[in-house]
Amino acid sequence: MPATPKPFEIIEDGTLTSVAGIRATGLHCGVKRKRHDLALIYSAVPTVAAAAFTTNKVNGPSILVCKENLKTPDVRAIIVVSGNANTCTGKTGLENAREKVSLTAQNLGLKSDEVLVSSTGIIGRPLPMDQVRKGIGRAAKVILRWTEETSLDPSEHGHLAARAILTTDAYPKEIAVRVKLGRKTVTLAGICKGAGMIAPNMATMLCYMATDAAIAPRLLQPLLKDAVERSFNSISVDGDTSTSDTAVLLSNGLAGNAAMDAEGKDYARFRDALHFVTRFLAQQVVRDGEGATRLMEICVRGAASDVEAKRVGMTVASSLLWKCAVFGGDPNWGRIAAAVGRAPARVKQERLVVKIGNQTVFADDSPTDYNLKQAESHMQEQKIHVTIELGLGNGEWTVWGSDLSYDYVKLNAEYHT
Amino acid sequence: MPATPKPFEIIEDGTLTSVAGIRATGLHCGVKRKRHDLALIYSAVPTVAAAAFTTNKVNGPSILVCKENLKTPDVRAIIVVSGNANTCTGKTGLENAREKVSLTAQNLGLKSDEVLVSSTGIIGRPLPMDQVRKGIGRAAKVILRWTEETSLDPSEHGHLAARAILTTDAYPKEIAVRVKLGRKTVTLAGICKGAGMIAPNMATMLCYMATDAAIAPRLLQPLLKDAVERSFNSISVDGDTSTSDTAVLLSNGLAGNAAMDAEGKDYARFRDALHFVTRFLAQQVVRDGEGATRLMEICVRGAASDVEAKRVGMTVASSLLWKCAVFGGDPNWGRIAAAVGRAPARVKQERLVVKIGNQTVFADDSPTDYNLKQAESHMQEQKIHVTIELGLGNGEWTVWGSDLSYDYVKLNAEYHT
């Protein structure tokens, strides 16, 4: 049988600016002491935008302003400040969020409702707006001179944006892929920062994606929602939820493909590429979680529904006892079974099967005669695999989690407000 | 104003055997290497029993056997083995649980359905039944010779039972109180073991209480249920739920009080005493939680309902970020606010008020001008107090939690299965 053609291809050194018409840059304006702290993302042509936000009922004014501006889905720019979450800052916080938006719009010749805004970092402190204002002006200049500046390297500036949105992340998270749709090649890219949550920062998960693919506008939001559900909403570093989590996908159609419709082959290919991108970035977030030394992938099968499969997976991925076992490299399946049993999902103990790596360790309400050494050796790998079969239905879900190490406690206990 | 008379009095050196007609002992039979591992509790006269069990859908055969035997509420004895959970052990596990019950009944001249059974410790390994059988015989002899043996010190044997149910606990947890009901004095006592959950033990929360007070049988189960809900079900060490959690209350009526009815003063006094006992034991469990260095008490007020108040409290008490802050002695209220916001309850950010100790640190969606040094000094105390006011209704609840320390990770990561 001939090899099936790769559905998509990873672009070497790819980032947001690998997408036609997408410009981005990052710089240091003075919110942080030294590191880059302001990113500006821009599309040279109109886009259709989709977005997903934190479900936390305590949230920052950026979320409110984004939701207002998304009432019309044309988004041309996103202004991101890192180092200060602009959350729990009362009326001033809302005013500052609006001013960042209007100033960005003004500098780029856009309308305010074409601009989104994010802020991540320390909470409860007012933004240093003087520095932010200057930073917006400088970033806008780079964006406006994009085609004139012959010395400007688009991917270098894309990488600057990816760095400027970080807070406690150890490294930037970015990826770009090419997908063949008919005779056209479209590009899809994303940058992301982690949800490590370090004191006193409420380290937000932020993800900005863009594509030059044309797609029926009504499809974009459900497509993003599903992709986020299966990636960023399926990971657990510590179970805490930030007040400002945001994921945005802009589509500007510059690739010239026939606009995708729900039923076509193109749509399926593009969806697979999007899931690859969001899952790649989500796993990067877990790997870079505070104190994380190991990534676990938990596949739940045979649940009564997908929703219940996800609940079981997330309960196991968030179990402190199991996370400690993963840190210690211990194939302690009893902790998996106990976490499965307390998940808000239908579970029948006598049908439960647990696998670590490719070995079944628990079935028929009893431990199997598994090879302990082999299980222990699997637990030493960088990515460990757990399979949970519930034997009740066709519900399936995959989640990713980090382990729980001394460093997590250290990072989160030693800071003083 | 004259001081109101104390509703109840703590009995010095009190334990289960402080209750009229209650006998108990503990010994080493060989499940553990050295420490006591078998406890037997007995009432010399018939009782009415109430019980509450784990909600974990994966659970041990002891839970099943207890539920069967509680179909008639007359319980005369409880046999407890520590060091082996007899969970995830298939059919053999169920047979062994039944044999422990029938052997205990036989030795004490009871019917099998008058005996309850618990097992806690390592999971997935068969019980060493030879040792357990001998242990039951020896314990039953102590119980039967209770009144003949002039050298027997009842409270010493009560303490032995309290020790014999422990697994990873650092110390036994026991208390007895006297309550004046009319002209009679009744006694209520309990022993308990912690929910530290150490590898590979699924360290169960077990609590056995007894009283010589007479109470209308139909009141006992709801009374226990409510008390457990407000104590053992309102604590968080690590958020994991054991597969064998059990709380039992036996009432034998030997105090000769007029049987309490729902509306009387006596009932209210007894209920208060029971809540004191269960909360005392629950807080002992938290204090003795794995790696715990500090106890937090979280009072939630103004919730839309009691249930929602509890959800908010438990979400905060279980937040890893906040637990780490408590360990570090850091009054990081942002982590409290973020946890409140993700709790499954109605929350309005602008109405939220957070207090640490007696200082308001967050209100009107902004940090207050609080005294940081005072807040930090409160965070250094052995028991810290957090108050969360939601401003939505009359729902209230109090929960208790431990901090998260290096030692928790160490204890749970360094063991190898």
The pLDDT of B153-167, averaged and rounded, is: 96
For residues B25 and B62, membership in a common domain is answered with yes
Residue A344's CATH number: 3.10.20.340
| Residue B241 and residue B235 in contact, taking contact as beta carbons nearer than 8 Å | no
What does the alpha-carbon distance between residue B415 and residue B409 come to, in Å, rounded to a whole number? 10
| pLDDT value, residue A1 | 45
Please tell me the distance in Å from A285's CA to the nearest CA on chain B: 17
What does the alpha-carbon distance between residue B394 and residue B35 come to, in Å, rounded to a whole number? 48
B416 band by pLDDT with thresholds 50, 70 and 90: low
| pLDDT value, residue A196 | 61
Closest by Cβ to B413, choosing from A93, A325, A416: A325
Query: Parallel, antiparallel, or unpaired: how do β-strands B77-84 and B115-122 relate?
Result: parallel
Closest by Cβ to B124, choosing from A88, A239, A334: A334
Is A372 within 8 Å of B330 when comparing Cβ atoms? no
| pLDDT value, residue B357 | 97
| pLDDT value, residue A347 | 96
Residues of chain B found within 8 Å of residue A334, distances taken between Cβ atoms: 87-88, 123-124, 200, 202
The pLDDT of B314-321, averaged and rounded, is: 90
Q: Which among A114, A140, A116, A154 has a CA at the least distance from the CA of A19?
A: A154
CA A408 to chain centre: 20
Is A88 within 8 Å of B362 when comparing Cβ atoms? yes
What does the alpha-carbon distance between residue A158 and residue A161 come to, in Å, rounded to a whole number? 5
B84 band by pLDDT with thresholds 50, 70 and 90: very high
Is A330 within 8 Å of B417 when comparing Cβ atoms? yes
**Which stretches of B70-199 are DSSP H helices?**
90-108, 129-144, 154-164
Which of A251, A271, A287 finishes a domain? A287
Residues of chain B found within 8 Å of residue A406, distances taken between Cβ atoms: 406, 409-410
Residues of chain A found within 8 Å of residue B58, distances taken between Cβ atoms: 337-338, 340-341, 347, 349, 352
- Which two tokens mark A391? 């034997």
What does the alpha-carbon distance between residue A20 and residue A416 come to, in Å, rounded to a whole number? 45
Q: Whole-angstrom distance between the N-terminal and C-terminal Cα of chain B?
A: 62
For residues B326 and B283, membership in a common domain is answered with no
Residue A111's CATH number: 3.60.70.12
- Which two tokens mark A412? 């989160």
Is A365 within 8 Å of B197 when comparing Cβ atoms? no
Which residue would you say has higher pLDDT here, B157 or B417? B157
| pLDDT value, residue A195 | 66
Give, in degrees to the nearest 5, the angle at Cα B76 between B73 and B77: 115
The pLDDT of B94-119, averaged and rounded, is: 97
The pLDDT profile of chain A, 417 residues, written as one tens digit per residue, is 445 556 789 999 999 999 999 999 999 999 999 999 999 999 999 999 999 998 888 888 999 999 999 998 899 999 999 999 898 888 999 999 999 999 999 999 999 999 999 999 887 889 999 999 999 999 999 999 998 887 889 999 999 999 999 988 889 999 999 999 989 999 999 999 986 654 344 567 899 999 999 999 999 999 999 999 999 989 887 666 677 789 999 999 999 999 998 878 999 999 999 999 999 999 999 888 878 889 999 999 999 999 999 999 999 998 888 998 999 999 989 889 989 998 999 999 999 999 999 999 999 999 999 999 999 999 999 999 999 999 999 999 999 998 988 887 877 777 555
Is B366 within 8 Å of A89 when comparing Cβ atoms? yes
What is the residue type of B326?
A: V
What does the alpha-carbon distance between residue A15 and residue A159 come to, in Å, rounded to a whole number? 7
For residues A52 and A24, membership in a common domain is answered with yes
| pLDDT value, residue A198 | 42
For residues B310 and B281, membership in a common domain is answered with no
Indicate whether A1 belongs to any domain. Answer: no
**Which stretches of B346-413 are DSSP H helices?**
372-379, 406-413
What does the alpha-carbon distance between residue B395 and residue B375 come to, in Å, rounded to a whole number? 26
| Percentage of residues in chain B having pLDDT higher than 90 | 73
Indicate whether A2 belongs to any domain. Answer: no
| Residue B412 and residue B199 in contact, taking contact as beta carbons nearer than 8 Å | yes
What is the residue type of A285?
A: V
- The answer, yes or no, to whether residue B238 has pLDDT greater than 80, is no
| pLDDT value, residue B350 | 92
- Which two tokens mark B9? 């009095």
Please tell me the distance in Å from B374's CA to the nearest CA on chain A: 13
For residues A205 and A333, membership in a common domain is answered with no
Indicate whether B23 belongs to any domain. Answer: yes
Surface-to-core class of residue B321, CB atoms within 10 Å of its CB (0-12 exposed, 13-18 middle, 19+ buried): buried
Is B240 within 8 Å of A335 when comparing Cβ atoms? yes
B148 band by pLDDT with thresholds 50, 70 and 90: confident
B255 band by pLDDT with thresholds 50, 70 and 90: very high
Q: Considering the candidates B25, B54, B104, B204, report the single residue annotated as catalytic.
A: B204
Indicate whether B67 belongs to any domain. Answer: yes
For residues B344 and B281, membership in a common domain is answered with no
| pLDDT value, residue B60 | 86
Please tell me the distance in Å from B349's CA to the nearest CA on chain A: 5
Indicate whether A3 belongs to any domain. Answer: no
Residues of chain A found within 8 Å of residue B123, distances taken between Cβ atoms: 334, 337
Is B366 within 8 Å of A55 when comparing Cβ atoms? no
Between helix B306-318 and helix B333-342 the angle, nearest 10°, is 130
The pLDDT of B186-202, averaged and rounded, is: 74
Residues of chain B found within 8 Å of residue A119, distances taken between Cβ atoms: none
- The answer, yes or no, to whether residue B135 has pLDDT greater than 60, is yes
Please tell me the distance in Å from B77's CA to the nearest CA on chain A: 28
**A131 three-class SS:** helix
Range(s) of the domain holding residue B98: 8-287
Is A124 within 8 Å of B241 when comparing Cβ atoms? no
Which of A234, A257, A287 finishes a domain? A287
| pLDDT value, residue A201 | 44
What is the residue type of A45?
A: V
- Which two tokens mark B216? 């209308």
Number of domains within chain A:
2
| pLDDT value, residue A244 | 76
For residues A230 and A349, membership in a common domain is answered with no
**Which stretches of B247-354 are DSSP H helices?**
265-287, 306-318, 320-328, 333-342
For residues B97 and B198, membership in a common domain is answered with yes
Please tell me the distance in Å from A24's CA to the nearest CA on chain B: 31
For residues A271 and A311, membership in a common domain is answered with no
Residues of chain A found within 8 Å of residue B409, distances taken between Cβ atoms: 324, 327, 404-406, 408-409
Indicate whether A102 belongs to any domain. Answer: yes
What is the residue type of B203?
A: A
ipTM tops 0.90:
no
| Cβ neighbours of residue A121 closer than 8 Å, sequence gap 6 or more | A31, A32, A81, A82, A83, A84, A85, A167, A201, A203
Hey, how many other C-beta atoms are within 10 angstroms of the C-beta on A246? 27
For residues A268 and A316, membership in a common domain is answered with no
| Residue A218 and residue A225 in contact, taking contact as beta carbons nearer than 8 Å | no
Is B338 within 8 Å of A56 when comparing Cβ atoms? yes
Indicate whether B1 belongs to any domain. Answer: no
Residue B105 has, within 13 A of its CA and on its CB side, a CA count of 17
For residues A174 and A312, membership in a common domain is answered with no
Which of A232, A256, A287 finishes a domain? A287
Please tell me the distance in Å from A413's CA to the nearest CA on chain B: 4
| CA closest to A331 among chain B residues | B417
Is B330 within 8 Å of A241 when comparing Cβ atoms? no
**A358 three-class SS:** coil
Query: Parallel, antiparallel, or unpaired: how do β-strands B184-193 and B173-181 relate?
Result: antiparallel
- The answer, yes or no, to whether residue B360 has pLDDT greater than 80, is yes
Residues of chain A found within 8 Å of residue B331, distances taken between Cβ atoms: 417
Is A240 within 8 Å of B409 when comparing Cβ atoms? no
Residues of chain B found within 8 Å of residue A410, distances taken between Cβ atoms: 406
- Give how far Cα A74 sits from Cα of A19, A47, A114, B222, Å: 17, 5, 6, 58
| Residue A259 and residue A214 in contact, taking contact as beta carbons nearer than 8 Å | yes
pTM: 0.86
| pLDDT value, residue A3 | 52
What does the alpha-carbon distance between residue A343 and residue B131 come to, in Å, rounded to a whole number? 36
Element at A27 (helix H, strand E): strand A22-27
Interface test with A, best of B342, B372, B379, B390 (most A CBs within 10 A): B342
**A190 three-class SS:** strand
| pLDDT value, residue A312 | 96
- The answer, yes or no, to whether residue B198 has pLDDT greater than 80, is no
| pLDDT value, residue A199 | 39
| pLDDT value, residue B283 | 92
What does the alpha-carbon distance between residue B235 and residue A250 come to, in Å, rounded to a whole number? 45
What does the alpha-carbon distance between residue A15 and residue A158 come to, in Å, rounded to a whole number? 6
Residues of A with catalytic roles? 204
For residues A148 and A256, membership in a common domain is answered with yes
Closest by Cβ to B342, choosing from A241, A348, A415: A241
B1 band by pLDDT with thresholds 50, 70 and 90: very low
pLDDT single digits (tens) A378-395: 999 999 999 999 999 999
Indicate whether A179 belongs to any domain. Answer: yes
Between helix B217-229 and helix B265-287 the angle, nearest 10°, is 40
